[in-house]
Chain A
Amino acid sequence: MGMFILRRTGVMILTALCLTFVVFFLTNLFPNLEKLAKTQGNARMSDAEVVSWLDRNGYGGPLVVRYGEWLGVVPGWTRTNDDTGAVTGRCIDFGMDAEDAPTRCGLLQGDLGFSTVSDDEVGNIIGGRLILTGKLMFWAFALMVPAALLVGVLAGMREGSRLDRSLSTFSIASTATPEYVSGVIFIVVFASTTAGISGTLTEWGWLGSEGWLGDRRTLFLGSARSAMEDGITFWNFFLPVFTIALYGMGYIARMTRASMAEVMTAQYIRTARLKGVSFRNIVLKHALRNALIAPFTVIMLQFPWLLTGVVIVETLFNYNGFGWTMVQAASNNDIELLLACSIVAVFVVLVTQLISDIGYVFLNPRIRIA
């Protein structure tokens, strides 16, 4: 078991290195750097000036060396200005003496660099944003996983029954509705003052100044901006959470249903039935534990998918979390911030894969790894 975890971790680190290198390569292509130089320096730079600007700011030199600097295994670049004799470098912050600065500063030292657009340390930006997204993810999971397991177990316990068919159709419909579709529909139905249910209720005078919800004019809020500042309420946070949860729910429910249906045909379930155990006890005590092993893997592997969902939902609902930051970094050519975002994304994906692999082995007594 120890060997297995060690090998998996090794492969994971190798994968992480490859992926971050690809991201580093793609964000540091020459057109990106040229754009950076022109936005940071002067929009009308000539090609030679661009090259010299890049060299002065540490973007010159071979890609592999710069990647090493960013990782923190190669000493950071330093340049001495010929005219003033001032020393600048990757690890020398403003007002810091060149002698005091550390030689290496990169990912391994916990230094993610400096965001050129926000004028702040990347570490400071990412941290707050991750907490915001963490809240969103937490509530989405808290809603999605129990609901999906319930739907899956109910559908799978009597395969082919009417309940199974209607719940399966529901799961198919939910996997067919990406976040940007369901989000738009929910906003129109629940959060528009002119259309949908909220609009009708306002017309009837049930919402609005004298309505059920005090002075709130819609059933839910179509923007999660107030959830960042004033704290999370059901009113301002339900729609984004539900939008994320709905898309992932169908897939988990279908996997749970398949696994449950398979378990229900097993010999030991038949034995229990013949012994006269009630159906409720068969499902709850005999089938459920074995049926939930496969969904565990699926739930862990849902994290990467949720990442896409989070980006869409945060953009749609104006919630300035991690996904929104990534979109901003990518569209503003904010290289260091985008690199840090990709590190987080890759880390989340790989760690959940690792957990799902190890968890599967732990949960399933039929698998033994020497």
Chain B
Amino acid sequence: MEQLTWTGSFGAFLNPLLLAALVIFLLGFVANTILALAGLRAGDMEVNADGTLVFKRTPVDYALMTMKYAVLLFLACCVVFVLGGIFQPDIQAKGILGAMAARLVPVWIALIVIFAVSVTFKRKLGLYGKLFDSPIGMAGFGLVMFWIFAAVFSGLIATHGALDVISGLRNDLPGTPLPNPAEGQYPYYLLGGDNLGRDVFSRVVFGAADVLQIAPVATLFAFMVGITLGLPAGYFSGSAFEMRSPGFYITCALAGLAAVIGAISGGLSVGLWTLVAAAVAIGLFLTVKLDTILTFIANLALAFPVILLFFLLVTPEIVAAGVPQYMSMVLFLFPIIFLVVLFNSRFHTQPMTRNILVAAAAIVGFTAYFSLISNRSDADAPIRFWPEALDFFDIPGNLLIVFVAVVFVNSPTVFRIVRGIVLDVKTRDYVAAAQTRGEGPWYIMLWEILPNARGPLIVDFCLRIGYTTILLGTLGFFGLGVSPESPDWGSTINEGRRLLTVYPHPALPPALALMSLVLGLNLLADGLREESLRD
């Protein structure tokens, strides 16, 4: 079998067209710039004496029109490539681009369906529907959904396994046929092989699944932490808690418990030190504003250079010392607190519903929590008291530390955003009305303020998933990722960069994939912001 060409049989006449579109676009751009610098403006409506309107075209308009048609021509060529890839029978005729388009058929179908449905019902879909009024938002949404569907259908799309090695295809160029393909095996490496002889195309697709499993969930956890701490920091203006309030007693009890545990495990002096530290902390909580303390801690975390934190946290020694377990112990507590307080404040007046919901949230939450942090089967794990029978899942230490590090880096920023919004929103009339009605503080925070802060939070959520993707890539780039042979994009870029100037093809596809996903998320956030501001 022969090497595949990039564009297959359509290339003969489509490639010159593509090139022509590009050249025309550039010429139009240059002409437009020169005309604009020369002081010409685009045409405008003019009112005639008899009341009719005339639209006069200037050279600038013609330059812009040329650019527009060049873009349309380019897109048309791309569509023909995709269709040609799907409908031509012979893989030689499809070319590399066509063959990839054919592999991505599930994604195209899903994209067409979701766009058709959303555009048809966009007036009934609220903010999501309004997204389809802005071209930028639509482009971003399309890119994001492309990668989400690629991740969902990764098993169908990928041509080979993520770890399948064919040693004869080390660093081979895109479109290389397999030396002796078995029955049913895809006969080509579409985007070439990497330095171990694995298929680059399949690894990019599986990498999408890897990245999209971690990034949104980590961002969600960061938001839970940030919201749970940011709401009270912005809302309560007094000290953290009063003398003889429930919070005071709970903190005292916890401090006593910590001191006893310290004394048992580390001797009397450790217990005494814990007690002194706890007393100082409680004293601070009684005198200093909660906001001041939380903001100081958030600033502390923000002043920590991200890259240094990663290097400190994601090393084997730190994992061996159990730091990820202790950190996840603290961080994963917040979602449970968030849910319990959420239900408790909403259904406070209906004790039966309240009890059921709070109990359900607490049971599910704590089962998941203890399954996560405690690992009885691993003798080196620092926390292992939870019985094996109730331990439903264990997360490998490496994945956990990557997850925790990313959540830890993101949550202080979310905290600051939430706090800022709360400080602004709490002066509104409906908050005063709720206070006059006698609603509790947590009800006001979670059910009056939070829903009204959703716009900026949703926008930031999109941006932050992109940022988290970049962070995960950074970790992979330094070889600190989930595992060395994981197909996630950062690790693949890291592997490919060693021979970059000689063999650029293994590193380039994951780099472009990461860029397009983050770009899509940023454009989506921009579209959402524009549409939500229009309200």
A22 to B304, CA, bound (A): 10
Residues from 489 to 522 in B contacting A, C-beta threshold 8 Å: 490, 493, 496-497, 500-502, 504, 507-508, 511-512, 514-515, 518-519, 521-522
Whether A1 sits at the interface, judged by CB under 8 Å, is no
Contact of B321 among A30, A304, A345 (CB under 8 A): A30
**How close is B277's CB to chain A, nearest CB, in angstroms?**
11
Of the listed residues B318, B474, B504, the one surrounded by the most CB atoms of chain A closer than 10 A to its CB is B504
Chain A 7-47 near chain B by CB (<8 Å), digits 1 or 0: 00001000100110011001101111001000000000000
Chain A residues, Cβ within 8 Å of B493: 180-181, 184
Is B318 touching A187 in the complex (CB atoms < 8 A)? no
Q: Are A187 and B305 in contact (CB under 8 A)?
A: no
Q: Mark B288-325, 1 if CB is under 8 A from A, else 0.
A: 00000000100110011111100111011110110100
Instruction: Given A169-B136, A188-B508, A193-B501, verify A176-B305 contact (CB < 8 Å).
Output: no
CB distance from A339 to the nearest CB of B (A): 11
Q: Which residues of A contact B511 (CB under 8 A)?
A: 180-181, 184-185
Of residues 263 through 289 on chain A, the ones whose CB sits less than 8 Å from some CB of chain B are: none
B508 and A308 contacting across the interface, CB-CB below 8 Å: no
**A30: chain B residues within 8 A (beta carbon):** 321
B523 within 8 A of A: yes
Q: Does B149 contact A (CB under 8 A)?
A: no
A169-209 Cβ-contact flags toward B at 8 Å (1 or 0): 10011011110110011011001111110000000000000
Residue A291 at the B interface, CB < 8 A? no
| A316 and B497 form a contact (CB under 8 A) | yes
B307 touches A178 (CB 8 A): no
Residues of B within 8 A of A345 (CB): 305, 308
Select A192's contact among B300, B473, B504, beta carbons within 8 Å. B504
Contact at B323–A194, with CB atoms within 8 Å?
no
- Are the CB atoms of B323 and A26 closer together than 8 Å? yes
B194 CB-CB contact with A under 8 Å: no
> How many of A's residues come within 8 Å of B, CB to CB?
55
A255 within 8 A of B: no
The B interface, classified by DSSP as helix, strand, loop or mixed, is helix
Question: What's the nearest-Cβ distance from chain A to residue B433, in Å?
Answer: 31
- CB B324 to nearest CB in A, in angstroms, measures 12
A172 and B519: CB pair below 8 A?
yes
Give Cα distance in the complex from A106 to B321, angstroms. 27
Instruction: List residues 337-356 of chain A with CB under 8 A from any CB of chain B.
Output: 338, 341-342, 345-346, 349-350, 353
Q: Does A312 contact B (CB under 8 A)?
A: yes
B470 at the interface (CB under 8 A from A): yes
Report the nearest B residue to A169, measured CB to CB.
Answer: B136
Once A31-B317, A312-B477 are accepted as A-B contacts, the answer to whether A194 and B304 lie under 8 Å apart by CB is: no
Closest B residue to A250 by CB, please name it: B522
Alpha-carbon separation in the docked complex, A168 to B316 (Å): 42
Assembled-state Cα–Cα distance A144/B189 (Å)? 40
User: CA of A316 to CA of B307 in the docked complex: distance in angstroms?
Assistant: 15
Query: Once the chains bind, are B311 and A326 in contact (CB under 8 Å)?
Result: yes
Q: How far is the CB of A340 from chain B (nearest CB, A)?
A: 12
B500–A188 CB distance below 8 A = yes
| Residues of chain A with a CB closer than 8 A to B470's CB | 178
Residues 130-152 (chain B) with a chain A CB within 8 angstroms? 136
Given the known A-B contacts A172-B523, A192-B501, A196-B504, are A23 and B312 also in contact in the complex, defined by CB atoms under 8 Å?
Answer: yes
Q: CB of A149 within 8 A of chain B?
A: no
Query: Does A222 count as interface, using CB distance less than 8 angstroms?
Result: yes
Question: What are 22 A-B pairs at a CB distance below 8 A?
Answer: A18-B300, A19-B300, A26-B313, A31-B316, A172-B519, A172-B522, A173-B519, A176-B519, A177-B519, A178-B474, A178-B514, A180-B474, A180-B490, A181-B493, A184-B496, A307-B305, A307-B307, A316-B497, A326-B311, A333-B317, A341-B308, A346-B305
16 more CB-based (< 8 A) A-B contacts, given A26-B313, A30-B321: A15-B300, A19-B303, A19-B304, A29-B321, A32-B318, A172-B522, A173-B519, A176-B466, A177-B519, A184-B507, A185-B511, A188-B504, A191-B501, A192-B500, A326-B308, A349-B305
Report the 7 A-B pairs with minimum CB-CB distance, sorted nearest first: A330-B311, A31-B317, A176-B519, A188-B504, A176-B518, A345-B305, A31-B320
